Chains A and B, each alone.
Chain A
Amino acid sequence: MIGRKTIDDLLSQLKSDPNVVHWHTIPKKEAHYAPFPQTLDERIKTALINRGVGSLYTHQADAYHAVMDGKDVVLVTPTASGKTLCYNLPVLETMIEHPEKRALYFFPTKALAQDQKNEMAELINTIGVPIKSHTYDGDTAGSIRQKIRQAGQIVMTNPDMLHASILPHHTKWVSLFENLQFVVIDELHTYRGVFGSHVANVIRRLKRICRYYGSSPQFICTSATIANPREHAEALTGRKMFLIDRNGAPSVRKHFLIYNPPVTNKQLNVREDESYAVTILATNFLKNKIQTIVFARSKLKVELLVSQLQKINSGRQDRAAICAYRGGYLPLERRRIEKGLRSGEIIGVVSTNALELGVDIGQLQVCILTGYPGNMASVWQQAGRAGRRQEDAVIIMVASSNPLDQYMAGHADYFFARQPEDVRINPDNIMILMEHIKCSAYELPFQRGELFGGENVDELCEYLTDEDVLHFQRGKWYWMSDGFPANNVNLRSAAQDSFAIVDITDRGHAKVIGEMDRFGAMTMLYEDAIYIHQGIQYHVDDLDLEERKAYVRKVNVNYYTDSDLAVQLDVLEEDKHADFDGGKIEKGYGDVSVRALPTVFKKIRFETYENIGWGKIHLPELEMHTNAAWISFEPALFDVFGKDVFQGALVGLSHLLRHAAPLFVMCDQSDLSVVPKIKAPHNEKPSVFLYDKYPGGIGLSEKLYQELPLLLDKASEMINNCSCESGCPSCIGFVNEGKAAKTALRRLLKER
Chain B
Amino acid sequence: MIVSLTKKLQLYRKQLHDQNAASRQQAAQHLNSAEHESETDQEIQKAAKQLGAELCRFEDQYVLVHSELLPINLKIGPYLIRDLFPLVNAWQSACEKHPLSAKGLHAEDLLFFDTETTGLGSGTGQMIFLIGMARLTRNGLELSQYLLPGPGHEAAFYDAFLTDCRSLKNLVTFNGKAFDWPRVKTRHQFVRDQVPKLPSFGHFDLLHASRRLWKKRLESVRLQTVENEILSMGRKADVPGKMAPFLYFQFLKHPDADLVKGIMEHNREDVLTLISLYIHLSNKILNRVEADPEEQYEIARWDEQIGDREHAQKLWKELIPKKSPYQSKAKWRLAELYKREGEYLTSLDLFKSALCDSGDDQVPLCIETAKLLEHQFKDYTHALYYTKQALEYFYQRHPNDLDSVRKKEVEYLKRLNRLDQRIGNNS
**Does B123 reach chain A (CB closer than 8 Å)?**
yes
Q: How many A-B residue pairs have CB under 8 A?
A: 136
Chain B, 80-130, CB within 8 A of any chain A CB? 118-127
C-alpha gap A430/B30 in the complex (Å) = 23
C-alpha gap A366/B119 in the complex (Å) = 55
B119–A430 CB distance below 8 A? no
Extra pairs beyond A169-B124, A467-B20, A471-B151 (5, CB < 8 Å): A468-B249, A472-B33, A482-B245, A484-B125, A573-B11
A171–B150 CB distance below 8 A? no
A445–B19 CB distance below 8 A? no
**Does A476 reach chain B (CB closer than 8 Å)?**
yes
C-alpha gap A215/B151 in the complex (Å) = 25
B151–A473 CB distance below 8 A? yes
C-alpha gap A483/B5 in the complex (Å) = 25
Across the interface, name the chain A residue whose C-beta is closest to B120.
A482
Contact of A430 among B8, B28, B127, B189 (CB under 8 A): B8
Give 5 CB contacts A-B under 8 Å.
A443-B123, A460-B9, A473-B151, A474-B37, A625-B12
B125–A441 CB distance below 8 A? yes
Mask: chain B, 26-63; 1 = CB below 8 Å from A; 0 = not? 11101001010100000000000000000000000000
Known: A431-B15, A473-B152, A474-B152. A459 touches B123 (CB 8 A): no
Task: State the Cβ distance, A665 to closest chain B Cβ, in Å.
Answer: 21
Contact of B121 among A459, A471, A482 (CB under 8 A): A482
The 7 closest A-B pairs by CB, nearest first: A442-B125, A482-B119, A478-B151, A171-B189, A168-B123, A479-B125, A474-B152
**Does B156 reach chain A (CB closer than 8 Å)?**
no
Across the interface, name the chain A residue whose C-beta is closest to B22.
A488
Residues of A within 8 A of B381 (CB): none
**Does B185 reach chain A (CB closer than 8 Å)?**
yes
Across the interface, name the chain B residue whose C-beta is closest to A209.
B124
Name A residues whose Cβ lies closer than 8 Å to a Cβ of B.
168-172, 174, 428, 430-431, 434-435, 438, 441-445, 455-456, 459-460, 463-469, 471-474, 476, 478-486, 488, 572-573, 591, 625, 695-696
Contact of A168 among B9, B16, B125 (CB under 8 A): B125
Residues of A within 8 A of B127 (CB): 478
Name B residues whose Cβ lies closer than 8 Å to a Cβ of A.
1-2, 5-9, 11-12, 15-17, 19-20, 22-28, 30, 33, 35, 37, 118-127, 150-152, 185-186, 189-190, 245-246, 249, 252-253
Task: State the Cβ distance, B96 to closest chain A Cβ, in Å.
Answer: 28
Across the interface, name the chain B residue whose C-beta is closest to A474.
B152
C-alpha gap A434/B127 in the complex (Å) = 22
Task: State the Cβ distance, A53 to closest chain B Cβ, in Å.
Answer: 43
C-alpha gap A572/B1 in the complex (Å) = 19
B151–A625 CB distance below 8 A? no
Contact of A431 among B7, B12, B125, B253 (CB under 8 A): B12
Across the interface, name the chain A residue whose C-beta is closest to B60.
A474
Residues of A within 8 A of B20 (CB): 438, 464, 467, 469
Residues of B within 8 A of A488 (CB): 19, 22-23
Residues of A within 8 A of B24 (CB): 468-469, 481-483
A480–B249 CB distance below 8 A? yes
Contact of B9 among A428, A430, A468, A481 (CB under 8 A): A430
B15–A625 CB distance below 8 A? yes
C-alpha gap A456/B189 in the complex (Å) = 27
Residues of A within 8 A of B121 (CB): 482-484
A434–B19 CB distance below 8 A? yes
Across the interface, name the chain A residue whose C-beta is closest to B122.
A169
A467–B17 CB distance below 8 A? yes
C-alpha gap A172/B124 in the complex (Å) = 9
A434–B16 CB distance below 8 A? yes
